[in-house]
Structure 1
Amino acid sequence: MRLHKSTTSANYNPSREILRGVSWSILMRWVVRFIGVISTLVLARLLSPEDFGIAAMGSLVIGLLFAVTESGAASLLIRAKEFDQAHCDTAWTISLLQNIFIGLLIIVLSPIAAVYFNEPRIIEVLHILAISVFIGGVSSIGPTLIRKELKFDLDFRYSIYIKLSIFFPTIGLAIWLGNYWALVFGNLIGTIINVLISYAIHPYRPSFSFVRGSEYLHFALSIIPMQIAYKLHEMAPKFIVGGIGSANIMGNFTVSSDLATSFTHEIVSPIGRGLYPNYARLMDDRDQLTELYIKILGVIILLVIPMGVGVSVTAADLVASLLGKKWDMAIPLIEYIALSGILYAITFIMYNQILVAAGRERQAAILAWIRLLITVPILWIGLSLEGSLGLAKATVVAPLIYLPLVYHEIRQVVNLPILTIAKVSWRPILGALVMYLSVKLLHPESIDWAILRLISDAVFGAGIYTITVIGLWILSGRPQGVEHLCVNLIGKKIKKFSEINCNNS
């Protein structure tokens, strides 16, 4: 493979490329989420909260080990302005050795995990998951190269293939086995298929190499502290509840967290996926970077606030429709975790991608550790006061404390006055409040079916939010901003649709 250079020519349009990448990523994540919702709907009725809890314990252990051994090889490969075959081979070699090391650690630490979770069944589960990790180590880095080359359509197809490769085996095994082993072996089968697809999706073929090892080591030393803190922060609530609760409580909290934050997460995750390679290209033009950053932040705030509030206010019908009666314990948890998902999403989009793209890994790591040190004590206090419900409430409190620190660090990269944040957020916040109160007051209790009540509340709430935000925007004098962009975009679509109808006539 000859030397490659990232495309930074006059033909590169950052707005177009970011929109293209984000659009593909959002489509990908929502299709994946749709598959996930169907999977949850089916599995929640075939399996118990205890089954989900045991599988979640195994996933937490693996997630922790991957976090503390993170090399950041994929991130460096994407960020590198120039790369060759040796860069790719070294990244693949590091990933292979990382998986081998983690697989061995899983086997060694499985008895300790059983003691911590007070669940002896987790030992055998971890042994099977270790096999998945070993197999996953030989995956090609072709999917990473696809992202670097901005081939988001291929990235979309790859993600769908991966999701389906787990979906069908897991559903089939759940029908056959009826317990947590369906989740474990479904993951194993999915990993095997994932490896095959990773080679089919891109022509790159790996070789064992350490030629560029020093570059990756330098980058790893800067990014590992941040990745560890970030992953620990993400897993902290589940680890805390897992250490003091049963598999049943663990299952309820895990599924509650996944369901409550899935809608907001499925907005910010694909956007972050599309932003990172483009942020890296815009670091030499801070004015353009700032302009795009503010637009993206405004879009996120406009979308995730009503999404999180909507999940919170419809939690009872959401659980009844998707999970069933045996998951009623999840309802109050979802009501609070959905709100924390809003704050998590805003924090994620504010600093997760841009600081690394700007080469400020050290500052991002310090911020991530401060965030973790603030969060864990608050979670413990919440758990001590009200059990798992108190823990769910604490997930809302913690982000409110560390958000000012995130804002301070971001100001070092982009020009983001506090007044700008207020301008892009006050209308969505007020609109979501009106939506929440309206849905609460006018909830259709007379409808017997939970799914119909859920649809009714969702449509009604979305309408109230849209009318409120647009109304406030008009009363404010139609200022330039996210609402202006959305109204113009909708207007263009309507005009285009009308022209097509006229031509057909």
Structure 2
Amino acid sequence: MADTATPSNGQSDGLAHLSAGRARAALLGVLWSFLNTAVSTLLAAGVFLVTSRYLLPDDFGAVAFAASIITVLAVLTPTAFGEALVQRKLLGRDHLDTLFWLTLLVSGMGYGILVLLAPAIADLSGVPLLASILPVLGLRLVFDGLLTVPASLIMRRMQFRAVAVRTAIANGIGAVVCLVMVLMDYALWALVASQVIASLVAMVVAFAGARWRPGLQVRWQSLRDLMGFGGYAMGGRLLNELRIDQFLLGVLLGPAVLGLFYFGRRLFQMLKDLTVGAFSPVSSVLLASLQGEVEKRRRAYLVASYASAGLAFPLFAGLMAVAPAAVPWAFGQQWQSAVFTVQCFCAIGMMAGLGQMQAALIRNLGRPDWWFWYQAVVQLSTVPVVLIFYRFGLDVVMIAIVLKTVFLWPHSVLMAQRMLEMPLWHYFRSLRGPALGSAAMVVWVLLLPGLWPGASVGLTLLLQVASGAVVYALVLAATSFRSLLETGRLLRNARGKTQ
């Protein structure tokens, strides 16, 4: 998206994209981002594991319903315009100040409306807990609004270490508060408080790391400069985070079924963060800075896609294979009914890992409009799926969602391939190793219990994970050794050179 106006303050105060040392910054960014997502996911998994053993699906459903309502308000705030701050070539302080005060105003109004309507929402939904949960969980609206500008500045400067520190501190404090509250027999409120406190701490740490304070340079033209990319980013976030399926399932099938769905989606989201989450923020900023360098962006995209698939494919495929034993063993027998939902989300997860790379490429190379409409089709097509199949139960709904995703996903693959001006077979050839390695791993993992029928569930799962990882690594090395060497060479060059 071309910039048509020059900001009043030019590129002062360290607001320009990096033009030197991008490869090194990207490499360090991936390492810090991976550390960030690993720590955050482990903390989230600990909270998830503990609370799932204390709470029933109905309780999870109540919190999920509250979260979906808050998300409806959150996506109507201009927090997604922070992505325009990252993508824009020319940026001034007037853009930062304008977006900060606008976001604070809209998110504050949204929170006030939420507090006023909370009792009515509880009555209409038939979930009395919402009257108490919504005013507390809704504080995230304000904290996330305040977070937008400083967090975007940190990303724009490729200061991924600051992002990792901020997120680790926020999630760490949130996890500690949650576990303490669980021990005090407030498990439901622990799930709510951990999210609010994590959002608050993230906002405070982001301001400290960005070294920026809001001023009063508020201009209408500055907002117009951000509207092109920011408008599509806001629309995309609206589609992605609105959770229409979650809202409909809560209304049509009740909190218990919604709790099972939310359980599967939460587990999926944690694993997605742990895999592609390490590459997504780095690739977005890097591709934005390579808008005019065709060969470099093609190489960056292929390396990022290979690395993302190398992590996402085995993790989601492995969980799909062991879920029938692993879910009730780890989280409790009350979640046995969620196993099939978890497996369906794993199938979606293998496509989602590559989809994040496609989104970064398409949006940051000037086609946020195409990605918005693609996401509109993906997300809105869930509405008729749920309305048609909900009467047959959650399992049938999940099968329909997976089939819909499989049908639509190739369209983004073809668009990315056209933008890279690269043969499609070249792209899929780069993913051959992770795909074959994951397939071999799944076969071995499914055969292993029959080879040692007397082992306990815990020991069997341990053997499946450990030996499955070995099988995957061996097949990966045998089928894509050249890709591994190329990736290693690029990483070594990134450590020693600047671009």
Q: Normalization by structure 2: what TM-score?
A: 0.87
Q: Match for residue 498 of structure 1? A: none
In the TM superposition, residue 184 of structure 1 has moved relative to its aligned partner by 2.3
- Within the candidate set 193, 211, 215, 2:225 is matched to 215
Q: Match for residue 366 of structure 1? A: 373
- Relative to structure 1, the CA distance from residue 379 to residue 157 in structure 2 (aligned partners, 3 Å threshold; closer, same or farther) is same
Letter in structure 2 aligned against 1:402: L
- Relative to structure 1, the CA distance from residue 5 to residue 247 in structure 2 (aligned partners, 3 Å threshold; closer, same or farther) is closer
Q: Match for residue 86 of structure 1? A: 94
In the TM superposition, residue 412 of structure 1 has moved relative to its aligned partner by 4.0
Task: After superposition, give the CA deviation of every residue in 1:130-153 in whole Å (9 maximum; x if it has no partner).
Answer: 344345544473332222111111
Q: Match for residue 123 of structure 1? A: 131
Cα distance in 2, alignment partners of residues 303 and 134 from structure 1: 34
- Within the candidate set 379, 394, 398, 2:400 is matched to 394
- Relative to structure 1, the CA distance from residue 396 to residue 123 in structure 2 (aligned partners, 3 Å threshold; closer, same or farther) is same
In the TM superposition, residue 329 of structure 1 has moved relative to its aligned partner by 1.6
Q: Is the 1:68–1:227 contact (alpha carbons within 8 Å) kept by the matching residues of 2?
A: no
State percent identity of aligned pairs. Answer: 19
Q: Normalization by structure 1: what TM-score?
A: 0.86
1:442 aligns with 2:448: yes
Q: Match for residue 467 of structure 2? A: 460
1:410 aligns with 2:416: yes
Cα distance in 2, alignment partners of residues 371 and 142 from structure 1: 31
Cα distance in 1, alignment partners of residues 389 and 426 from structure 2: 33
Task: After superposition, give the CA deviation of every residue in 1:19-62 in whole Å (9 maximum; x if it has no partner).
Answer: 22122111100111111111122222233322222111111111
- Relative to structure 1, the CA distance from residue 117 to residue 434 in structure 2 (aligned partners, 3 Å threshold; closer, same or farther) is farther
Q: Match for residue 485 of structure 2? A: 484
Cα distance in 1, alignment partners of residues 463 and 172 from structure 2: 30
Structure 1 unaligned spans of 5+: 493-505
Most deviating of 320-329 and 189-198: 189-198
Cα distance in 2, alignment partners of residues 402 and 304 from structure 1: 19
Q: How does 1:95-494 map to 2 (within 5 A)?
A: 95-107=103-115, 109-110=117-118, 113-114=121-122, 117-139=125-147, 141-211=149-219, 212-232=222-242, 235-350=243-358, 352-385=359-392, 387-443=393-449, 444-448=452-456, 450-473=457-480, 480-481=482-483, 483-485=484-486
The alignment's C-alpha RMSD in Å is 2.7
Corresponding residue SS for 2:292: coil
Task: After superposition, give the CA deviation of every residue in 1:438-486 in whole Å (9 maximum; x if it has no partner).
Answer: 21122244222x333222111111112222233334xxxx5x42x3346
In the TM superposition, residue 362 of structure 1 has moved relative to its aligned partner by 1.4
Cα distance in 2, alignment partners of residues 290 and 56 from structure 1: 39
Q: Is the 2:15–2:153 contact (alpha carbons within 8 Å) kept by the matching residues of 1?
A: no
Q: Which has the higher contact order (CA 8 A, sep 6+)?
A: 2
Q: Match for residue 50 of structure 1? A: 58
- Relative to structure 1, the CA distance from residue 8 to residue 192 in structure 2 (aligned partners, 3 Å threshold; closer, same or farther) is closer
Task: After superposition, give the CA deviation of every residue in 1:347-381 in whole Å (9 maximum; x if it has no partner).
Answer: 2222x222221222212112111222434333444
Cα distance in 1, alignment partners of residues 271 and 15 from structure 2: 36
Corresponding residue SS for 2:127: coil
Cα distance in 1, alignment partners of residues 453 and 262 from structure 2: 29
Most deviating of 218-227 and 266-275: 218-227
Q: Match for residue 497 of structure 1? A: none
- Relative to structure 1, the CA distance from residue 245 to residue 218 in structure 2 (aligned partners, 3 Å threshold; closer, same or farther) is same
Corresponding residue SS for 2:213: coil
Q: Is the 2:170–2:197 contact (alpha carbons within 8 Å) kept by the matching residues of 1?
A: no
In the TM superposition, residue 288 of structure 1 has moved relative to its aligned partner by 1.3
1:63 aligns with 2:71: yes
Cα distance in 1, alignment partners of residues 45 and 99 from structure 2: 34
Q: Is the 1:89–1:208 contact (alpha carbons within 8 Å) kept by the matching residues of 2?
A: yes
Cα distance in 1, alignment partners of residues 225 and 97 from structure 2: 13
Cα distance in 2, alignment partners of residues 15 and 136 from structure 1: 30
Corresponding residue SS for 1:150: coil
Task: After superposition, give the CA deviation of every residue in 1:190-223 in whole Å (9 maximum; x if it has no partner).
Answer: 4443443333333211135422233234443343
Q: Is the 2:83–2:233 contact (alpha carbons within 8 Å) kept by the matching residues of 1?
A: no
Task: After superposition, give the CA deviation of every residue in 1:411-436 in whole Å (9 maximum; x if it has no partner).
Answer: 34212322113312334323322221
Q: Is the 1:435–1:462 contact (alpha carbons within 8 Å) kept by the matching residues of 2?
A: yes
Corresponding residue SS for 2:420: coil
Corresponding residue SS for 2:75: helix
Most deviating of 300-309 and 194-203: 194-203
Corresponding residue SS for 2:214: coil
Q: Is the 2:26–2:158 contact (alpha carbons within 8 Å) kept by the matching residues of 1?
A: no
Cα distance in 1, alignment partners of residues 352 and 126 from structure 2: 30
- Within the candidate set 2, 6, 16, 1:6 is matched to 16
Corresponding residue SS for 1:182: helix
In the TM superposition, residue 250 of structure 1 has moved relative to its aligned partner by 1.8
- Relative to structure 1, the CA distance from residue 406 to residue 257 in structure 2 (aligned partners, 3 Å threshold; closer, same or farther) is same
Most deviating of 63-72 and 48-57: 63-72
Cα distance in 1, alignment partners of residues 213 and 372 from structure 2: 33
Cα distance in 1, alignment partners of residues 121 and 92 from structure 2: 41
Cα distance in 2, alignment partners of residues 297 and 57 from structure 1: 34
Letter in structure 2 aligned against 1:472: T
Letter in structure 1 aligned against 2:172: L
Q: Is the 2:174–2:193 contact (alpha carbons within 8 Å) kept by the matching residues of 1?
A: no
Structure 2 unaligned spans of 5+: 1-8, 493-499
Corresponding residue SS for 2:24: helix
Most deviating of 393-402 and 370-379: 370-379
